[in-house]
Structure 1
């Protein structure tokens, strides 16, 4: 009887211990369960960021954008893709092979409206998130080639950019005010063109195989730094009257100065033109996603500047500069919260 009574007491104690252990551990199990459900239920959002060639600014800055978004926007997995530039970026978004893209102002407008090289191929679903920084037109010539002005490119070997890239379009527009042309279907050809990317253009000058190139990028641009550090070259200024003609004919250009000392051997200011760069996206991206992406860029602006100096120009005050395509509603909401007038009409 004593043994039976003791056995009953032991069983009761075991049950009580089990109950107490269960009560104390239940909250921990429930917390893990909640986190597990949240992670499992959260859909990963893959973002392909179309940039440009690796020798410019778009690509490294696009990589910095991806890092910020992956770090601060839950569920986002972003990566930067090297491309031929704005025209290809627009086509990638049209084909839904990219969600986000960098784009030059004027060329983005051509794509949105379906004009110039996008004739008959308007992309009305193109949207903007914010303006970024200025793309400066940098014309670099090999010393000894007899080039002191763009006018001197006549008969010379010139790298205008990769075929149908935004830079190539810039070259075409700028050379046109000097009566110069390298396109066989655009009239008399009086400039010999090498349609190559930034790094290859730099190599041509360094090897003495080319006379000059035009590169469009934020200051400083990696390929221009490489050329100036490795070859005997100079950065060419545009004449005041030509700057006026360019900005009147193509109103998205504006005058800028490349400060002396920006590049090795550049001992004086260089006068040229620039266009704004835009961060573009597809209209079908969710409003809350675009809002969070835009917010993350400005909340962590210091990390972008650490990645490339060109991001210094990317401020709330400049967010609507040169906007030629409609804002995405998600971006518009964020910028409006920052006190900007987001009623931007595109004609």
Structure 2
């Protein structure tokens, strides 16, 4: 099984699809080893895993990070567990930036931090007539290095609940370390991001991070997919789907905001549901 805390990010669907051996362990100082155990010697190939639904969908379709590869049509969904993420935009309060339009209007050299997964920083900047090239030409920069995390004016990206999860911890860190002003994006931009990113409109709840003092309309995505390959035995996929349902109590005691929704657990966009999992959901009446 490939799991997020022994994280291989966009490589995860490739590892499962190709039945690769477990990759080398990559220590992360922010993640205790108990959450990311080292791969033991002699392990067999990886047969199933858990990954953000967008990675699974894009790998299946051969788009995004996988656009130069063949679609991985042997991938199959077992369960889609809810796991919310929000598009976030914030500026250091000391900059006085309350609208990204100010950057172009005043031609400030601005330092942009691309923070967390998702968020479509390039698309958001483009809406305001900005790009990495134009920002660099004006004396600013766009990046996500250790230096960028200390010396930035505006942060753009995706974040979930306040946690040390590798993909989101940057928002936990910077919101605690700096006074941030969270910025609401224009309504038409949110509609565009929702459509093009195949996400949905939503609300950042007040208090999600330090500095979010009101509910803020944004774009959201949700879903951590438990998945495998088409050659997975039906009985095994059935048992995994059954176990996820019968042990929902384990989700509520995690450090991440996981939840089980009977209306969406079997949905994975174009990624087919494994027949074994489909049999379980039909028996329970979740899948009509």
Task: Report the TM range for the smaller structure's normalisation.
Answer: 0.7 to 0.9
| Correspondent of 1:214 among 132, 136, 156 | 156
Kindly state the Cα deviation for residue 272 of structure 1 after the two structures are TM-superposed: 1.1
Residue 19 of structure 1: aligned partner: none
Task: After TM superposition, list the pairs within 5 Å mapping 1:178-257 onto structure 2.
Answer: 178-182=128-132, 188-190=133-135, 192-196=141-145, 204-205=148-149, 207=150, 209-222=151-164, 223=169, 224-250=171-197, 252-257=198-203
Q: Closer, same or farther in 2 for the Cα pair 1:168/1:219, shift >3 Å? A: closer
- Alignment of 1:145 with 2:109, yes or no, is no
Kindly state the Cα deviation for residue 127 of structure 1 after the two structures are TM-superposed: 1.6
Q: Which runs of 5+ in 2 are unaligned?
A: 21-45
Residue 113 of structure 1: aligned partner: 61
Q: Closer, same or farther in 2 for the Cα pair 1:291/1:266, shift >3 Å? A: same
Could you list the runs of 4 or more consecutive aligned residues of structure 1 that deviate by over 6 angstroms after TM superposition? none
More helix by share: 1
Residue 19 of structure 2: aligned partner: 96
CA distance in 2, matches of 1:228, 1:254: 25
**Structure 1 residues 211-220 or 300-309, which shifts more?**
211-220
What SS does the aligned partner of 1:311 have?
A: coil
CA distance in 1, matches of 2:206, 2:119: 27
What SS does the aligned partner of 1:190 have?
A: helix
Aligned residue-pair number: 246
Q: Report the structure number with the largest CA radius of gyration.
A: 1
Q: Do the aligned partners of 2:77 and 2:266 also contact (CA within 8 Å) in 1?
A: no
Kindly state the Cα deviation for residue 298 of structure 1 after the two structures are TM-superposed: 1.9
User: Normalising to structure 1: TM-score of the pair?
Assistant: 0.62
- Alignment of 1:82 with 2:7, yes or no, is yes
User: Normalising to structure 2: TM-score of the pair?
Assistant: 0.73
Q: Do the aligned partners of 2:118 and 2:158 also contact (CA within 8 Å) in 1?
A: no
Kindly state the Cα deviation for residue 123 of structure 1 after the two structures are TM-superposed: 0.9
Kindly state the Cα deviation for residue 120 of structure 1 after the two structures are TM-superposed: 4.0
Q: CA RMSD in A?
A: 2.8
- Alignment of 1:48 with 2:28, yes or no, is no
CA distance in 1, matches of 2:90, 2:274: 37
Residue 136 of structure 1: aligned partner: 86
